[in-house]
Amino acid sequence: MGRKASEPVCRAASPETRHVVIVGGGFAGINAAKALGNRKGVRVTLIDRNNYHLFQPLLYQVAMAALNGGEISYPLRKMLSMYRNITIYKGCVENVDAENRKVLTDFGEIGYDYLVLACGAKHHYFGHNEWESFAPGLKTIGQASEIRRRVMEAYERAERTQDPVEQKKLLSFVIVGGGPTGVELAGSIGEMSRYYLSKYYKNIDPRQTRIFIVHSGKRILNTFSPELSSRAARALEQLGVQIWTSSRVSGIDASGVQIGPEHIEAETVLWAAGVRATSIGKTMGFETDASNRIVVDDALSVKGHPEIFCGGDQARFELAGGEALPGLASVALQEGRAIGRNILRDIEGSPRQPFAYLDKGQMATIGKNMAIVEKGRLRLSGFPAWLVWLLVHIYFLSGFKHRFFVLLQWGWSYFTFGHAARIINREWRFYPENPDGP
């Protein structure tokens, strides 16, 4: 980069302007940034390894070829361009020197007065990292593209072979984990195989696709009420999904999935079971829980470090009963906003306010016309729930244009049952030994 790592990228903040460094441009990070945008006495540096904000709740639709990655991502620079006091760097934070109030990035050091950690979470294989190559998780657009490639490629390979046993294995999909993401993936594959793909293949019948949800708990979607969870299970079964509850995966390899003494032969395994925060909180010696989440106080700052805040999936915020808030977009969004406001209160000299989470409820979608929605005592399922799901997601998609295009894309798919983006992208690789390519 032509600069030594010890040389700071940013000038020292003038005494009257406080410098806030935000790490991560997810729901928590951008909402902290927005709360501080164009405010007096503060300037903000937002660092993210990508140049876009990702609307993660719809990532499974990219994996299932219903949307393009570009439709659920929004350039951070565009999103925050109206704020004169926000600078954005695409880069990686490698460490934090909390004593000297500096973050160490791959492009140099940046000093801060306040630090906001909002790095999110990624998949966690419970000590079996060797499973990752066989069972990718779904947290990034790259992973979504890889899942899409594996699913579509399995059908192409099944069409090419004439060995029925191999075809069966190729048309078997195991989803590990029965939370919302697992359910959404399984429901999509069920719907696609039963209602859409069948007319496009000559040698196979895609309706014979086997789809398994392998779930360690007693029932899927266990953060929902037993009634809604059961309705979702019935809807999944109607799409041909086999639900194996009380089933803990003991092995994953190229042959498929081992569940204690049982074995499922499957070419494609998808991981939707566990997430864990990045390890930076642990490295920094902060108090963390088993999922690496940093324990924060009621004002969302780190114990012993009032100048460091943490929000979103990286934070563990405990309710009065000791229960932690779940890793939901609405939690991250509210935490980010609360962090920004508490920094402003500090600067104004007023006391910080404790964070109060306003429960927005939870929802999961199984397929076209079928979802479940639960908010307090309100419980919806079927078409009404699906409509609520649709409206909420379109409303929260960042930026008007995206909402508009996704709505159109969905409308089109709804009436044609066509999957818009069903192409398999291969990355470009450089093959010097073979000028004609692979």
Q: Which of residues 94-133 bind its own copies (CB under 8 A)?
A: 107-108, 122, 124-125, 129-130, 132-133
Distances (CA, A) of 281 to 24, 100, 123, 304, 322: 14, 17, 16, 13, 20
Using alpha carbons, select from 182, 317, 321 the residue that is nearest to residue 243.
182
Looking at the Cβ atoms of 204 and 373, the one nearer to its own copies is 204
By the rule CB under 8 A, 161 interacts with its own copies: yes
By the rule CB under 8 A, 297 interacts with its own copies: no
By the rule CB under 8 A, 248 interacts with its own copies: no
By CB under 8 A, name the one of 285, 322, 351, 435 that touches its own copies: 435
Enter the tokens of residue 41: 């006495």
Give me the least distance between CB of 421 and its own copies, in Å please: 4
Calpha distance 191→174 (Å, rounded): 15
Q: How does 301-313 read in b/e, with b if 16+ C-beta sit within 10 Å?
A: bbeebebbbbbbb
By CB under 8 A, name the one of 104, 324, 390, 424 that touches its own copies: 424
By the rule CB under 8 A, 263 interacts with its own copies: no
Name the one range near its own copies by CB under 8 A: 49-57, 214-222, 309-317, 349-357. 49-57
Number of H helices, E strands in the chain: 11, 25
Of residues 197-216, those binding its own copies (CB under 8 A): 199-203
By the rule CB under 8 A, 87 interacts with its own copies: yes
Enter the tokens of residue 121: 């979470």
By CB under 8 A, name the one of 24, 32, 34, 52 that touches its own copies: 52
Give me the least distance between CB of 1 and its own copies, in Å please: 6
In sequence order, what are the beta bridge partners of 18?
Answer: 42
By CB under 8 A, name the one of 146, 265, 297, 318 that touches its own copies: 146
In sequence order, what are the beta bridge partners of 324?
Answer: 318
Torsion of CA 43, 89, 288, 355, to 10 degrees: 40
Looking at the Cβ atoms of 142 and 326, the one nearer to its own copies is 142
Is the distance from CB of 92 to CB of 48 less than 8 angstroms?
no
Q: Mind telling me the catalytic residues?
A: 184
> If residue 301 lies in a helix (H) or strand (E), which one and from where to where?
strand 301-302
By CB under 8 A, name the one of 17, 38, 92, 207 that touches its own copies: 92
By the rule CB under 8 A, 50 interacts with its own copies: yes
By the rule CB under 8 A, 12 interacts with its own copies: no
